[in-house]
Structure 1
Amino acid sequence: MVTSSEDGTVKIWDTRSGHIQRNYSHGVPVNDVVIHPNQGELISCDRGGNVRIWDLGENKCSHQLVPEEDKSVASVTVATDGSLLCAAVSNSVHGAVYVWRLITVRDVTSLVPVTKFKAHGTYITRVLLSPDVRHLATCSADHTARIWAVDLENTVQQADLDSIEEEDQESAGFELEQELDGHQRWVWDCAFSADSAYLVTACSDHYARLWELQSKTIIRQYNGHHRGAVCVALNDYSETR
């Protein structure tokens, strides 16, 4: 089990004994942590603007990225095939997504910047790649979740973005496919179905919503909470017994 905390640490636990096996320090509150599909690396991000990759075999930080100085990194996501890393960087007037290729040669991982783009005009709370790695979902304080087409061939490369005005960067990265705008407050979290055809969102308006992405319709709403829904998980991988 892996946990991240406002105390600035990422901890790996032995689930049977409850003992801490690894303890990695950021020094500032940690917002998110994900396990790389290779099971040998962790990727975490923090409010200080850092993305760190931890090599579990070497027991050290192998990469440190600072997408934008003094802007919190709210969320990170890794492709199921280990090919991409995306990070959500934002403040009250700016929400951007950064994308890197993950290339592993002889057990050594390198990161190649692909692109960045403005996804929202305010805080991004979550970024998530779909299981088929064809879509990227972002959640925001602007009361929406957005679905972006993952297209590495037709994006403006990050090296060329310096010449583009910030207001034009929304069209410089992945193409916006859909905006899910039925929420009444901040959208905090989301989860894709196994076939990438559906998305569940969690919102401060107390509701979790199940969306069919092709039709952009709400299939079902879940309203058993008395305060905001801030986290969601979807078990859509179990075999029929």
Structure 2
Amino acid sequence: MSVILCTAGYDHTIRFWEALSGICSRTIPHPDSQVNRLCISPDKRFLAAAGNHAVKLYDIKSSNPNPVLTFDGHTGNVTGVAFHCEGKWMVTSSEDGTVKIWDTRTGSVQRNYTHGVPVNDVVIHPNQGELVSCDRGGNVRIWDLSENKCSHQLIPEGEDVSVASVTVASDGTLLCAGNNAGNVYVWRMVQTSHLTTLLPVTKFTAHNTYITRVLLSPDVKHLATCSADHTARIWAVDPTSTLTSTPSQPPAPNYLLTPAPPHVLQSPHNNPNNPANTTNPPINMQALHAPAPAPVPETSAKIAEPTPFPLETTLMGHQRWVWDCAFSADSAYLVTACSDHYARLWELGSQSIIRQYNGHHRGAVCVALNDTALS
């Protein structure tokens, strides 16, 4: 399978799609709960599905609908999941207030880090030695795996708003976070010796309501934001202007860098409320240029405040909340998952819907896409 595309949500199913035809090629039942997040292993062998309390690991090439392994240890909804670049371990975040690292061979917990409040997302830094997580208390934390502790606690100045999503550039240069006020925060990540230094770059208003997902493209030229306002937006990443503020802008705000706790707290905090890019060459997706609906026009609404992340386009056509998104390996396409039951494949150059994936009976809230060529 050169292109693996799957979606899931509140109808308790995981669906695999043929990207070209839009046909659902396989459906896996997930009766225990809704599925909150999906992640495909770098070798394309396994799919991790995060639900309530547990993560189930499925064999992508097998027709067996049962999971090959279940990671059971959280006490609330699992909100984030990511694989180590070689698949040796997996990290998860949860509303129970913890971030856990799992051995993917045995399903056992290797490490447990505590936020103290529900955790909304977690990603792995490309160096594979750090984790970045965010929580409902408005914090972004960086965990140093070699030191086994929190090395940075980032608190957006003057705000105590839940941070819904974080994303790290594939080259490790940028960290972006989006919160429930519709704001995006950007930090420059500088690697010095064995220490990561973070420099605040900018804050800008991306949406006028909840941001549900932020995601940097594999080529680090675009930032996608998904929102409760029924849209996804694509922002240009300008590497020259993100280093400093432009003359027309006020100085970049001081996003407080709080010293990390001296040790890792181990006691979990239960709050069970309901709710890895690779560098391999991509499969050529130009064959997706099939007849498509008329291009969706860009919105006339503009973000008023100056920003080194100018708005490229607003992807309109979703009927409800847009929960998740995934870039193609060549950064030319974006798949979105929406509460209106649909997943959509967008060609970013033409801002048009190339395919619409119809089959879920309730909201589609997560998507995973891997169209890289394995070496």
TM-score category (smaller protein): over 0.9
Matches within 5 A, 1:137-156: 137-154=224-241
Residue 45 in structure 1 maps to residue 180 in structure 2: no
Residue 189 in structure 1 maps to residue 276 in structure 2: no
Residue 201 of structure 1 and its aligned partner are, at CA, apart by 0.2
Matches within 5 A, 1:153-172: 153-154=240-241, 157=245, 160=251, 170-172=305-307
Q: 1:16 aligns with which of 105, 120, 132?
A: 105
Q: For structure 2, which runs of at least 5 residues remain unmatched after alignment? A: 1-89, 254-301
1:40-93 deviations in whole A, cap 9, x for unaligned?
Answer: 000000001000000000000000001153201000000000000000022xxx
User: Which residue matches 1:80?
Assistant: 170
1:163-200 deviations in whole A, cap 9, x for unaligned?
Answer: xxxx9764334100010011000000000000000000
Residue 125 in structure 1 maps to residue 212 in structure 2: yes
Answer yes or no: is the 8 Å Cα contact 1:67–1:89 preserved in 2.
Answer: no
Q: 2:118 aligns with which of 29, 52, 59?
A: 29
Q: Distance in 1 between matches of 2:200 and 2:155?
A: 12
Q: Answer 1 or 2: higher relative contact order, Cα 8 Å, separation at least 6.
A: 2
Identical aligned residues as a percent: 77
Residue 159 of structure 1 and its aligned partner are, at CA, apart by 6.3
Matched positions, count: 233
SS in 1 for 2:251: helix
Q: What is the RMSD of the two structures over their aligned residues, measured on CA atoms? A: 1.8
SS in 2 for 1:104: strand
Residue 161 of structure 1 and its aligned partner are, at CA, apart by 5.1
Letter in 2 for 1:172: T
Answer yes or no: is the 8 Å Cα contact 1:193–1:199 preserved in 2.
Answer: yes
User: Which residue matches 1:70?
Assistant: 160
Q: Mark the structure with the bigger radius of gyration.
A: 2
TM-score by length of 1: 0.92
Query: Whose helix fraction is larger, Structure 1's or Structure 2's?
Result: 1
Q: Distance in 2 between matches of 1:235 and 1:168?
A: 32
Answer yes or no: is the 8 Å Cα contact 2:237–2:308 preserved in 1.
Answer: no
Q: For structure 1, which runs of at least 5 residues remain unmatched after alignment? A: none
Answer yes or no: is the 8 Å Cα contact 2:328–2:371 preserved in 1.
Answer: yes
Letter in 2 for 1:100: W
Distance 1:101 1:119, change over 3 A: same
Q: 1:106 aligns with which of 193, 201, 204?
A: 193
Q: 1:176 aligns with which of 293, 304, 311?
A: 311
Distance 1:199 1:26, change over 3 A: same
Distance 1:29 1:95, change over 3 A: same
Letter in 1 for 2:363: G
Letter in 1 for 2:324: D
1:189-234 deviations in whole A, cap 9, x for unaligned?
Answer: 0000000000000000000000000001101011111110101000
Q: Distance in 1 between matches of 2:304 and 2:197?
A: 25
SS in 2 for 1:178: strand
Answer yes or no: is the 8 Å Cα contact 2:223–2:235 preserved in 1.
Answer: yes
Answer yes or no: is the 8 Å Cα contact 1:119–1:170 preserved in 2.
Answer: no
1:107-150 deviations in whole A, cap 9, x for unaligned?
Answer: 11000011111100010000000000000000000000000000
Residue 238 of structure 1 and its aligned partner are, at CA, apart by 3.1
User: Which residue matches 1:5?
Assistant: 94
Segment of structure 1 superposing worse, 208-217 or 231-240: 231-240
User: Which residue matches 1:136?
Assistant: 223
TM-score by length of 2: 0.60
Answer yes or no: is the 8 Å Cα contact 1:137–1:146 preserved in 2.
Answer: yes
Q: Distance in 2 between matches of 1:170 and 1:186?
A: 24
Answer yes or no: is the 8 Å Cα contact 1:117–1:169 preserved in 2.
Answer: no
User: Which residue matches 1:60?
Assistant: 149
Answer yes or no: is the 8 Å Cα contact 2:206–2:303 preserved in 1.
Answer: no
Residue 15 of structure 1 and its aligned partner are, at CA, apart by 1.1
